[in-house]
Chain A
Amino acid sequence: MVEEVEEFKNANLYKGVHAVDLEELYTSGHRTCQGCESALVMRDFVKASGPRTVVTGATGCMYVANTSYMTTPWIVPWMHTQLAAGGASAVGMAAGLKALMRKGKIPKEKINVINFSGDLGAGDEGLGGLSGAMQSPYDLLVIVYDNESAANTDIQASGLTTWGAQTTFSPTGPAKRILHERWKKNLAAMMAIGHPNVKYVATSCATFPPTDYMNKVKKALSIGGPTLIHTIDPCPKGWDYHPRYSHVLGELAVKTGIFADYEIVNGEVRYTYDLRNKKRTPVREYLEKQGRFSHFLDEDYEYVQAKVDEMWDEWELPGILPIKAGLKVKK
């Protein structure tokens, strides 16, 4: 999968799964669920970034389930930050380290500054702070781990939850079959398009294609400036499926095209899994494996399929920028 690209020749990309570092910097001690893909997002980013890293974790399931007092899984320094503070926490650490190094108060070296925030934190409450971080001049990476809900609060809908999904905030009932009527926020593209200074924005799935996510982390950290990676994280508890199928659902999210997998490098779009003009796996195969869509009728599957088709067939930049479909210039 790895292409030799000029701007990443110093990023030490993994050439296949056998080249991945064996050292674990996120180890035992967490209490995440069986089949938790977000835990893999944690484990893999810090594997890719290595030990000279500082991390903040915004409030979310990867805080509450992940980091209990005296049983921390983190080998690198880690600190909690508030739900809406992911972007600002990275700016604060990066600014502090930069000032201390410039003023000779600590030795000069490259220290990776990474924040992870969930879809609720980064995509809703922390959107302003995330934008602030993307405008900043600092080398930092924000990873948005998106399991499409407030996953330790009871599974409540967020602005990134798939249309129609049952959550505790959007149960199905006789009066309202579909209560969550918001279309998934286009977070990574919104950040890329709204912040043209950002050199690297990517979406990813931690399990598919293999090593893709870890290499995207390496690319983000090597290119400099503020960067963003948005991952799709199947969640057995929130999405209601057997834990053994997390990787299957991740792969289907990409192959159906409901979650566009791409990177934007210095303004250039590179599809990781290019579904333009290609036969996409029907989105129903992805949705009907999840209990949260058990209330769907044919018309609901058709609605989601039509939206996904529009995203790939009609958008100015398929899966990213909807000018042709959503916005039109008056003639």
Chain B
Amino acid sequence: MVVKQEEKSVFDREELMTGTDAVAEAVKLVDVDVFAAYPIRPYTGVMDRLARFIANGDLDAEYIVADGEHSQFEIGKHASSVGARAFVGSSGVGWLYAMESIGVTATDRLPLVALVGNRALDDPGAFGVEHNDALLVRDLGWLLCWASTAQEALDTTLIAYRVAEDPKVRMPAAVAMDGGYLTHSQHMVRVPTKEAVRDFLPTYDLGNRRMHPDNPVSIAPQVNEDWVMELRRQNYEAAKRSRKVITSAYEEYNSIFHSDYEDPFIEETNVEDADTVLVGMGSAAVVARSVANEMRREGKKVGFLKIRWYRPYPTDEIRKALSNVSNVGIIERNFAMGAPDDGAITMHDLQSALYDSKNHPRVVDFIAGLGGREISKKEVRKMFEMTADKKSPKVSWIGLRE
């Protein structure tokens, strides 16, 4: 990508970098105050790079190597509680080790931003991607999105801070990316200037919930049945409000950084007049888009819909995008043992969204690429064909050894 003349003022440089490097650049650009690290593949590259920033004097922040992911996330949470902008991250079972802390960060409404480098859960050990780790927080009060490219990872991290810290939202945000396919693959990334990021992202201000002697509050006292429902409702309203905040954040991001995020929540490739559409998240989007374009050239009316923001779920956007589609297939890099129809996780959310819509396309589910197995172009083509075929089963495992 060539940096256009008029864009020079908002970009510092273009650089080849991995997905985790791009997130580290974003964390530096937001002038993070505190970050806490604990090693686990594949997210950990982000902390390696941030540690180098500290060693080289490129970032002024408190850097803590924690004794485990539980402490790591608690450190981030409590740093956020005193008004410091904080960053953490993890992968797979590390993310699960932090789960207690992840839960309370959401109910404490602290805008911590975390990277999830998606990784299969143990046992057995596997470094490769599965989305079950990040999807475990989908109902807890975290904002949750997936990046497909290193550029999107950088952009989304900046946007995540903006949305999370907005006084109308104040929820933690998880930026997920596929382990290996994005954490460790390099793309050209346009890195914005600090000044431009400062224009986009206001100072973090926790207002009257900040822990400081000048603001002597008691946070998260025992409430029992007297008040929990009202507090849950506040969280629920914040999650609803976050949709509008996300929309306006992308509008501003597009205008400052000349990016072309048409819809913040979803990304459509040839969906508008398609009969058959595949839906997916993360790096599978890259290969699926390519196959969708190829098949179009062959005259087949297929399209691909990428979900970028999974929480809040883009209910209206998905209903609208799929309003004229007959067949929908979902590429799932996750599993849901014993779930309805034995389908995986995202099928259930998608079917729920479609239940009250006017159009009811046939929905089939493809469990593919588990544990980091590659999803090939051939397999994506097969999924398109099976989706179009009314006789294909509700759920299929793709790429499974016979």
Verify that A and B bind, or say they do not. yes
Q: Which residues of A contact B (CB under 8 A)?
A: 51-54, 56, 63-64, 67-70, 72, 74-82, 84-85, 87-93, 95-100, 102-103, 105-106, 111, 128-129, 131-132, 135-136
Task: Given A80-B220, A129-B74, decide whether A96 and B66 contact each other with a Cβ distance below 8 A.
Answer: no
Q: Smallest distance from the beta carbon of B33 to chain A beta carbons, Å?
A: 4
Chain A residues with CB below 8 A from B320, complex form: none
Whether A78 touches B218, Cβ cut-off 8 Å, given contacts A56-B78, A88-B78, A128-B67, is yes
- CB-defined interface of B192-226 with A at 8 Å, one 1/0 digit per residue? 00000000000100000001110111111111001
Task: Give every chain B residue within 8 A of A100 (Cβ-Cβ).
Answer: 33, 82-84
Tell me whether B213 and A76 are in contact (CB under 8 A).
Answer: yes
Which of B56-64, B268-276, B291-299, B343-351 forms contacts with chain A?
B56-64
Cα distance A19–B285 when bound, in Å?
70
Q: How far is the CA of A80 from the CA of B213 in the complex (A)?
A: 16
Chain A residues with CB under 8 A of B216? 74-77
In angstroms, Cα B350 to Cα A84, docked, is 37
Asked whether, in the complex, the Cβ of A88 is within 8 Å of the Cβ of B75, the reply is yes
In angstroms, Cα B64 to Cα A135, docked, is: 10
The reply to whether the CB of B330 lies closer than 8 angstroms to some CB of chain A is no
Question: Residues of A contacting B374 with CB < 8 Å?
Answer: none
Shortest Cβ distance from A198 into chain B, in angstroms?
15
Interface of A is mostly: mixed
B residues neighboring A (CB under 8 Å): 31, 33-34, 36, 60-62, 64, 66-68, 70-72, 74-84, 86, 100-101, 104, 203, 211-213, 215-223, 226-227
Can you list 17 A-B contacts (CB < 8 A)? A67-B221, A67-B222, A68-B222, A79-B211, A79-B218, A80-B220, A85-B78, A88-B67, A88-B74, A88-B78, A89-B77, A92-B81, A95-B62, A98-B62, A103-B31, A103-B60, A129-B70
Give the docked Cα–Cα distance between A88 and B34 (Å): 13
Min CB distance B10 to A, Å, is: 24
Is A93 a contact of B215 with CB atoms below 8 Å? no
CA distance A81 to B100 in the complex (A): 11
Which 6 A-B residue pairs are closest in the complex by CB-CB distance? A92-B78, A96-B84, A132-B67, A96-B79, A88-B74, A72-B218
Verify B212–A91 contact, CB threshold 8 A: no
Residues B219 and A85 in contact, CB atoms below 8 Å apart: no
Minimum CB–CB distance from A103 to chain B (whole Å) comes to 6
- CA A84 to CA B31, docked complex, whole Å: 29
Cross-chain contact of A82 among B64, B100, B217 (Cβ < 8 A): B100
Bound-state Cα–Cα, A47 to B80, Å: 26
In whole angstroms, what is the CA distance A286 to B218 when docked? 37
Distance of A97 Cα from B80 Cα, bound (Å): 10
Residues of chain B within 8 A (CB-CB) of A135 are 67
How far apart are the CA atoms of A136 and B62 in the complex, in Å? 11
The residues of B that contact A81 with a CB separation of less than 8 Å are 74, 78
Check if B70 sits within 8 Å of A95, measured CB to CB.
no
Q: Are A93 and B79 in contact (CB under 8 A)?
A: yes
Chain B residues lying within 8 Å of A95, measured Cβ to Cβ, are 34, 62, 64, 75, 79, 84
Complex alpha-carbon distance, A84 and B73, angstroms: 12
Q: Which residue of B lies closest to A72 (CB)?
A: B218
- CB contact under 8 A between A91 and B221, given known A96-B79, A100-B33: no
Determine how close the nearest CB of chain A comes to the CB of B55; give it in whole angstroms: 16
| Known A69-B222, A106-B212: A87·B84 in contact at CB below 8 Å | no
Q: Is the CB of B82 within 8 A of A54?
A: yes
Q: Across the interface, which residues of B come within 8 angstroms of A76, CB to CB?
A: 213, 216
In the complex formed, the residue of B with least CB distance to A98 is B62
